[in-house]
Chain A
Amino acid sequence: MKFLAEYRDTAAVRHWLSELQARITRPWTVMEICGGQTHSFLRFGLDELLPREIGLVHGPGCPVCVTPVELIDKAVAIASRPDVILCSFGDMLRVPGTRDDLFRVKSRGGDVRIVYSPLDAVELAKRHVDRDVVFFAVGFETTAPANAMAVLQAAEAGLKNFSVLVAHVRVPPAIEAILSSPQNCVQGFLAAGHVCTIMGTQEYDRLAERYHTPIVVTGFEPADLFQGLAMCVAQLESGQAHVEIQYSRSVRPEGNMVARSHIEKVFRIVDRKWRGIGVIPQSGLALRDEFREFDAEQRFATSDITAEESPECMAGDVLQGHVKPTACPAFGTRCTPEHPLGAPMVSSEGACAAYYRYRRQGAS
């Protein structure tokens, strides 16, 4: 497949690995932000090829993992109503809420449907005018334009039975939260290629400068990841700290202006709680007032929810790169993809799921 095979080509991967080896002279800790990158490192066994000077830590870039348990509980409450069709990306269904997950609601007869695109949910609303169709709008900046378009299309069609439960998060405030933490050990970042495809790199320039930390916007294939690391290490070794784009076949410094304007039209920036981490200022998106009628939280009274996390789950520490998934005593025993304690074990981008699936260390 064009634009994939070239970046999995052994010669290209070896080339960038040898560049990385040639550039590194001392230990550096680098975080890959995106869960898709985490999975590539483990799926292709790239982490085992890294020079031992590289300490790779996995970041919070898994929207499914950081969606607060309160919102899962709200989705469960809404989906349990007989007049509702709740649509979601497949990843969300097994994520544990306080007592239930969406799969269990479905098994009890709730109408929970997996959709490929938010526009599929809008089509469902057009076909089922007697039901309320709710779309669970989860995601980073990459997904926000698609969800914005769904709201705009529903508004245009005058749909009264469509709403969205918004759980959108933004990457730059999360990077800032990591960098400003007294526990921070991250010296360089591989930023998420598809988030920056939409947003560009403007917000990252300030972070690189303020925290004197190199940020390399990186793709997802093996050659991309090693090239991104080689670029990041070259900056670290020479004392530089700026934003570079490795994933230049898709990312432009200004991002995708059409998509950005749609995000701005529909959403506003708000503080948002991240599961296991806490509230990060300015890190979320919510619907603007003019689209309030499409807000599922307004439409369905769900304010009496008191959410509780599993006390045993270490997801917060895993998501901030403080510990590796295998450091959790429950990993692979009391917490598995079939019976998860936390979201990173079920999401297709979760770090715990990646370690369980590709390494099986500590798994029984």
Chain B
Amino acid sequence: MCLGIPGKILNKYERGGLCYGQVDFGGISKEICLAYVPDAQPGEYVIVHVGFAISRLDETEAMEQLALIREIDGLEEAAGQDVQTTEKDT
């Protein structure tokens, strides 16, 4: 019920006094209400729930978290621990 899916804003426009945009979900795009993320711009990622964008995804925050994992795992690897190769989930 609280399912939220990340998608990329393709454009922004107004209709009936509300801000909308086409949002791309890995190839499928859908009209989404952007009224709750007034500062979000095309090219940015948002979390979408029941037709509404509810947050702008903080790319810096996300990248830092992932970089931290790589750094720590890199240190462990350097220390001679067994680190498995990455399998990408498609």
- Could you list which residues of chain A lie within 8 angstroms of chain B, going by C-beta atoms? 1-6, 8-12, 14-16, 34-36, 61-64, 89, 91, 116-120, 138-140, 142-143, 145-146, 149, 153, 156, 192-195, 197-198, 220, 248-252, 256, 258-259, 262, 347-349
Enumerate chain B residues within 8 angstroms of A118, measured Cβ to Cβ: 50-51
Ordered by A's residue number, 24 sampled pairs between the chains whose C-beta atoms are within 8 Å are: A2-B6, A5-B88, A6-B62, A9-B88, A10-B87, A10-B89, A11-B84, A15-B73, A35-B1, A36-B3, A117-B51, A117-B52, A138-B1, A146-B33, A149-B18, A149-B35, A153-B18, A194-B2, A194-B49, A195-B2, A249-B59, A249-B62, A258-B37, A348-B3
Residues in A neighbouring B62, C-beta threshold 8 A: 3, 6, 249
Report B43 CB to chain A, min CB distance, Å. 12
Name the residue of chain A whose CB is nearest to the CB of B17: A156
A353 to chain B, nearest CB (A): 12
Are A61 and B2 in touch, CB under 8 angstroms? Answer: yes
Q: How many residue pairs, one in A and one in B, have C-beta atoms under 8 Å apart?
A: 139
In chain B, residues 36-51, which have Cβ atoms closer than 8 Å to a Cβ of chain A? 36-38, 45, 47, 49-51
Q: Which residues of B contact A (CB under 8 A)?
A: 1-4, 6, 8, 16-18, 25-26, 33, 35-38, 45, 47, 49-52, 54-55, 57-59, 61-62, 65-66, 69, 72-73, 83-84, 86-90
B51 near A120 with CB under 8 A, answer: yes
A9-B89 CB under 8 A given contacts A2-B8, A139-B2: yes
* Residue among B54, B83, B84, B87 with most chain A CB within 10 A: B54
Q: Is A140's CB under 8 angstroms from B2's CB?
A: yes
For A220, what are the chain B residues with a Cβ–Cβ distance below 8 Å?
4
Chain A residues with CB under 8 Å of B35's CB are: 149, 258
Instruction: Give the residues in chain B near A143, CB-CB below 8 Å.
Output: 1-2, 49-50
A138 to chain B, nearest CB (A): 7
**Partner pick for A248 among B49, B50, B61, B69, CB 8 A cutoff:** B61
A-B contact sample (5 more), CB < 8 A, given A1-B6, A11-B83, A62-B1 = A10-B86, A16-B69, A63-B2, A142-B4, A142-B54
Asked if B69 contacts A11 (CB within 8 A), the reply is yes
Chain B residue contacts of A256, Cβ below 8 A = 36-37, 54-55
- Docked-complex contact B4 and A197, CB < 8 angstroms: yes
Measured between beta carbons, the chain A residues less than 8 angstroms from B1 are 35-36, 62-64, 89, 91, 138-140, 142-143, 347-349
Q: Given A9-B86, A120-B51, are A248 and B18 also a contact pair (CB < 8 Å)?
A: no
A283 CB to nearest chain B CB (Å): 16
